[in-house]
Amino acid sequence: MTKLSVNINKIAVIRNSRGGNLPDVIGAALNIERFGSEGITVHPRPDGRHIRYDDVRELKKVLSTELNIEGNPIDSFTDLVMEVVPAQVTLVPDAANAITSNAGWNTIEHKAFLEEKVRLFKSAGIRVSVFVDPVVEMVQGAAAVGADRIELYTEAYAAGYEADREAAIAPYVAAAEEARKLDLEVNAGHDLNLDNLQYFIERIPWTAEVSIGHALISDALYLGLENTVQLYLRRAHNL
């Protein structure tokens, strides 16, 4: 069954816009767990514009489900991950000023760098996922650097879903099948929502985890946080 990990960055964006601690990011994460989420995802960036490094430290102390930390493994990020020791780290090649993640790794070009980081994180018992586009060669490269999982960057799937969902999902199925052949587990994330999530799971039922933040938190403004988490869980579990 596919697990749902809720990315809480957008909750931190609201808090940071006014200062103080409203909304309470840690309290929100605990509520999201209580509502059924099977993990919490955070993506701290060096400028601290949403989730901050101290948030990550506090979350590790109180969460009972899996903590997944995403980010570009620059030195400060690497140090944070090795200090906190989450269940999973997802390596994402985003620039410091990126609004959001917009591409997967070229796992061939960056093989030596990724091998070094994967080896380090795995030495601490952390599961390592590498963020990739749905390209078979990039999946093969992720296996070559020793990753445990890939996370498929699903923006293109989401963008093409309404026009032709079969064409949109096709490269993802091919990439996920290659991952399965290589004994890589498959995660997915970016622009997945209540409309397109269930079809993705139907076509790639061996997806281990989906990480969803922006759409889920946006839906919660209208539907309520508890109800929204439950709705996404039903899609993820293909119910």
Quick one: tokens of 106? 């070229």
Q: Is 70 a catalytic residue?
A: yes
Annotated catalytic residue: which of 70, 151, 185, 209? Answer: 70
Closest to 175 in 3D by CA, of 191, 157, 190, 163:
157
Q: Is 66 a catalytic residue?
A: no
Annotated catalytic residue: which of 38, 50, 190, 209? Answer: 190
Annotated catalytic residue: which of 33, 38, 43, 185? Answer: 43
* Strand duo 88-91 + 66-71: pairing: parallel
Residues 105 and 130 sit within 8 Å (Cβ to Cβ)? yes
Instruction: Tell me the C-alpha distance between 4 and 228, whole Å.
Output: 12
86: preceding bond cis by omega (within 30 degrees): no
Q: Find all residues with CB under 8 Å of 139, minimum gap 6, and list them.
A: 107, 132, 150, 175, 178, 179, 182, 184
- Other C-beta atoms closer than 10 Å to the C-beta of 95 total 11
Q: Is 190 a catalytic residue?
A: yes
Quick one: tokens of 62? 């109180």
Q: Which residues are catalytic?
A: 43, 70, 190
